[in-house]
Amino acid sequence: MKTVGELGEIKTIQRLTSMLKPHPNLPTGAGDDCAVTHIPGSDQDQVFTTDPIIESIHFLPTADPKSIGNKAAGRILSDLAAMGAQPQWMLINVVAPPSLNINRLEKIYEGITARCQTFGATLIGGDLAEGSVLELHLFGTGTLPTQSAILRSGAKIGDQIFTTGKLGGSRAGKHLTFLPRVKEGLFLRKTGWIHSMMDISDGLGSDLRHILRASHVGAQLDSTRIPTDHSIKAALFDGEDFELLFTLSPENTMPLLRAWNQKFKTPLYPIGSITNRTEQLELKEKNGTIHLIQGNGFSHFSTP
C-alpha cells in the first residue's frame, strides 16, 4: 500500500477528489483555484477556497507576524482573484504550540484583518487547537455573476498568455509582502475577454501546465518577455509570486492593454502563446532555439 509521500501531492489529491460527488448546484468542483456553486433563486454564484500556511514550510519562525498574516489572507484572496470574484467571508483555524506568545498571534491577526479590509473580505471566526508548530488554516468565499467565473479550462489555440507582474521574487521576500490581484481579477472578468486564468503559486512552469492540462492545449513561452526579479529559472520554478496568469485571443490583446493602462499603473506582460501541442510546454530562447521545459515548481511530499 502506497503512502502519501510515495504518491506525492498531485496524485494524492487526484485519489481523494475522485471520491467527491457531483451536485446540481456545483458547476465547478475540485481542480480549479476555487470551487464554484450556484446560489439557488439568484443571479449569483459563490466560490469557495481554503489554504493552510505552516511554520517552517510557508514561513520561518523568525518572520514578521503581520507579514505572516498578510500571506495567510493573501493566499485566499489570490485564489478568489483568479476566478474574478469579489471577496466575501473568511474563517481561520489556528493550530498553536502552548509556548506561542499571544502578542505574536494577535499581530498575525492584525495582518489578516488588514488584508481582508483592503479587499472587501470580513473575518468572521474560526477555531483554535494545540499542535507542535504554528499552523494557520484559512477558508474563504467570494461572489460573482452566475456562469462568469474564469476557469483554467478555457484556453484556446492561438491565445496570448499574460501575467500581471514580475516573477521569481519569492525568495527575496515577495511571498510575505505581495498584494493579491483582487482588483485586477475583477477587472479582467468584467471585460469578458479572458478565456482562462489562475494565480501563480507554485511557479510559472507548474501553474501554466494546469491550464494546459485542463484546456487540452500546449504553450510556448518567450524567454525574452518573461518579467523576472531574479532569473528565468526562478520565474519558472520558485513559486509564490501570486500574480495572475491568463489567456485571451490576439484580437482582444490591444483593447485589453488600452483599458488596463487607463485603470492600473502596473503593466501587463505578454509572455507567450497557446499552441496545439497538447500539454507540451516549450521555451523559446533569445537565439531562437526551442526546447521543452522540464521539471516543476514547489510540490508537497517531493524532494527539493
Question: What digits encode the pLDDT tens for the residues 164-189?
Answer: 999 999 988 999 999 999 999 999 99
Question: What digits encode the pLDDT tens for the residues 116-172?
Answer: 999 999 999 999 999 999 999 999 999 999 999 999 999 999 999 999 999 999 988
Distant-in-sequence, close-in-space partners of 158: CB < 8 Å, separation ≥ 6? 249, 250, 273, 274
Output the pLDDT for position 14: 85
Residue with cell 518577455: 225
Global confidence as pTM? 0.94
Least confident of 25-29, 149-153, 291-295: 291-295
197, 152 Cβ separation under 8 angstroms: yes
Q: Of the candidates 189, 143, 138, which has an alpha carbon nearest to the alpha carbon of residue 36?
A: 143
Sheet of 86-96, strand order:
35-38, 44-54, 135-145, 86-96, 122-130
Structural domains for the chain: 4-145 (3.30.1330.10), 152-292 (3.90.650.10)
Grid cell, residue 284, equals 523559446
